[in-house]
Chains A and B, each alone.
Chain A
Amino acid sequence: MRIPCPYCGERDAEEFSIQGEAAGPRPIPSDYGDGDRDAFHAYVHLRANEYGPTREYWYHAAGCRRWLTVSRDTRDHKILGVELAKP
């Protein structure tokens, strides 16, 4: 698998490490009650685990050391698009 990094060009996946699904912002706790517990449970533990296109955070550790958001198809490892996680 090769990932086209916006800075470095197409590189082998070995240069990158994966953080996981691009899950959106961390919840902000309000009263530390059941609602917060549900929100953090969903954020920390639950995954969409898509069969098909997915969006994930990858870190270009052996390259530009930027965080990337990679769109990828889990059925065939095809890279659908790459952008900087924080433009």
Chain B
Amino acid sequence: MAYGVLSLLRGGLTGQRHWRPVWRDAPPRPHYDIVIIGGGGHGLATAYYLAKEHGLANIAVVEKGWIGSGNAGRNTTIIRSNYREPGNIPLYELSMKLWEGLEQDLNYNAMVSQRGVVNLFHSDAQRDAYARRGNMMRIHGVDAELLDEDGIRRHAPFLDFANARFPIKGGLLQKRGGTARHDAVVWGYARGADQRGVDIVQNCEVTGLQIAGGIIKAVETTRGVIGAKKVGIAVAGNSSRLGAMAGLRLPIETCALQAMVTEGVKPLIPGVITFGAGHFYISQSDKGGLVFGGDIDAYKSYAQRGNLPVIEDVCEGGMALVPMLGRLRVLRQWAGNVDMTMDGSPIIDKTPVEGLYFNGGWCYGGFKATPASGFCFAHLLAQDAPHAAAAALRLDRFRSGYVVDENGQGAQANLH
């Protein structure tokens, strides 16, 4: 089904009864050329680009719940490419370029809104660090603009500029950054993949991997054994569980990352604003709610819920930056399980098991990377060689020492 003004008008005249499911809820077949484990944004994007860019068929995406029910439905929908490390920038900038053409490509409204992302700084040293980051971005062809205090006042006059401890000195603005609608991204990729013959198998949890002689043979699931020539893991949050099925110990800890949303209000927050003195970031959804979050809960958790001290810490950061937040009520609070790697950067690589490929370790940054993650992972699966934009994101970089440590925190996963 093509979306357009005409079909919408026709639907308006016939009581909107023309809507049909846009992808099949496929039963698993006994064998596929490629099985992607994980029906989130990354897995579905991978399947979509495998079919579209590499012309492959006979692909399945298996998902333990319903598609988009994990982190794809729990993030804060921010898209940006304001990174500093040469190993990271190309991937996130490729992602930004794909975001910019995504809706035309999928013919699906993903509500991509380039409303700007600004990172505030509060000291001279922080200004130097952000100036350096901005320069790194511009060297790589990414837009970046260093704003002084007046620039920030024009952009967001409601911030607490008079804060005695953390005065706002300025910020680094990426105008092309912004937000997108997370569910629509999942549905758009699912529809695009389904149209190209990909089987999307839901309620199908992987319980084991069949490996013989160091080669992947099949995945065991709650809906039977599915044979596969190649298997791609895209289950960030549960990567270590899948890794353990293949006998791999990964450089990953799983932690809970919380987010909150307030009641809906009129347009208030321009774009995305991040606090430089604490960990706090905020944006406004198209529905009007203020969406915000901050640090992860520091300990390992698969519970998909966090603890109160972190909520308190995030809200304290919010009150320090945007005092008017205190007048709003928080409607909902939730958590997703994120893969925290030992350098804070993701992994898109082959594994020591032949035919088994790994995509994970997305830390805080999975949603914005969805298109490029799928694009690069599809390239790896189809060509058996890394895409240039993801060449640094290797699994063995920890052993070899070529880590991509954006914050310089070292191998302490909960600090990234």
Interface residues of A (CB under 8 A from B): 1, 12-14, 17-18, 20-21, 37-38, 41-42, 44-51, 54, 56, 72, 74-77
Contact = CB atoms under 8 A, between A and B. Distances in A.
Given A13-B309, A20-B412, A45 B398 contact: yes
Contacts of A48: 240, 249
A38 B252 contact: no
A65 B60 CA distance: 52
Nearest to B239: A49
Interface of A is mostly: mixed
15 contacts: A1-B307, A18-B299, A20-B413, A41-B399, A46-B249, A47-B249, A47-B251, A47-B413, A49-B240, A50-B240, A51-B241, A51-B302, A54-B300, A56-B300, A74-B303
B241 A75 contact: no
B240 A45 contact: no
Contacts of B302: 51, 74-75
Interface string B235-262: 0001011000000011111100000000
B322 to A, nearest CB: 24
Contacts of A12: 309
B342 A49 contact: no
A42 B248 CA distance: 11
Contacts of A41: 398-399
A41 B413 CA distance: 14
Contacts, number: 68
A45 B303 contact: no
Given A41-B399, A74-B254, A49 B300 contact: yes
Contacts of B251: 45-47
B240 A47 contact: yes
Interface string B403-416: 00000000111100
Most B CB atoms within 10 A — which of A1, A12, A13, A47? A47
Nearest to B243: A49
Given A20-B253, A49-B253, 15 more contacts: A13-B309, A18-B414, A20-B412, A45-B342, A45-B399, A46-B398, A47-B253, A50-B300, A51-B240, A51-B241, A51-B302, A74-B300, A74-B302, A75-B302, A77-B303
B301 interface: yes
A45 B301 contact: no
B265 interface: no
Nearest to B342: A45
Contact of A45 (B238, B241, B300, B411): B411
Nearest to A42: B249
B301 A49 contact: no
Contacts of B309: 12-14
Contacts of B301: 74, 77
Contacts of A51: 238, 240-241, 302
A18 B299 CA distance: 7
B254 A49 contact: yes
A20 B412 CA distance: 8
Contacts of B331: none
A77 B305 CA distance: 10
Contact of B303 (A38, A42, A75): A75
Contacts of A74: 254, 300-303
A41 B397 CA distance: 10
A31 to B, nearest CB: 17
Contacts of A21: 253, 300
B249 A76 contact: no
B215 interface: no
A7 B230 CA distance: 53
Interface in B288-314: 298-303, 307, 309
B299 A49 contact: no
A18 B301 CA distance: 13
B299 to A, nearest CB: 5
Interface in B275-299: 298-299
